[in-house]
Amino acid sequence: QSALTQPASVSGSPGQSITISCTGTDNDIGGYIYVSWYQQHPGKAPKLMIYDIFNRPSGVSDRFSGSKSGSTASLTISGLQAEDEADYYCSAYTSVDTLIFGGGTRLTVL
């Protein structure tokens, strides 16, 4: 099963908002609520930022929000901060009982 499609990179200035897209199919993103987003800083383990399309785990800033339309999910980060610079990965549960990740998006805060 192919990975979900994410842009390789996005950038924004401090205080701005950015959106990262994640495109799949009806057999993954389009078929279930189990879409998640992870943040990964260099040399660190991934951190869950959004689960079940739009929910934030305790402790995650409300500057992070998630949404879904059809087979495309999105992560929006508002009020960009330098500490947001990281790699972001989407993931989705699939119809064949597996989990797939997107290829990852490198966020640069200018």
| Residue of 43, 24, 45, 44 whose CA lies nearest to 35 | 24
By residue count, the chain amounts to 110
Q: Which is nearer to other proteins, 17 or 33 (CB)?
A: 33
Nearer to other proteins, 12 or 104 (CB): 104
CA distance 74 to 45: 22
* Residues engaged in binding other proteins (CB under 8 A): 1, 3, 34, 36, 38, 40, 45-48, 51-52, 57, 89, 91, 93, 97-104
**Shortest distance in whole angstroms from residue 16 CB to other proteins:** 25
The least CB distance from residue 31 to other proteins, in Å, is 13
Distance in Å, CB of 28 to other proteins, minimum: 12
Nearest distance from C-beta of residue 107 to other proteins, angstroms: 14
Task: Report the residue number, 57 or 79, with the smaller CB distance to other proteins.
Answer: 57
Instruction: Name the residue nearer to other proteins (CB basis): 38 or 64.
Output: 38
Q: 34-62 burial, b for 16+ CB within 10 Å, e for fewer?
A: ebbbbbeeeeeebeebbbebbebeeebee
Q: With 0-12 CB in 10 A as exposed, 13-18 as middle and 19+ as buried, what is 82?
A: exposed
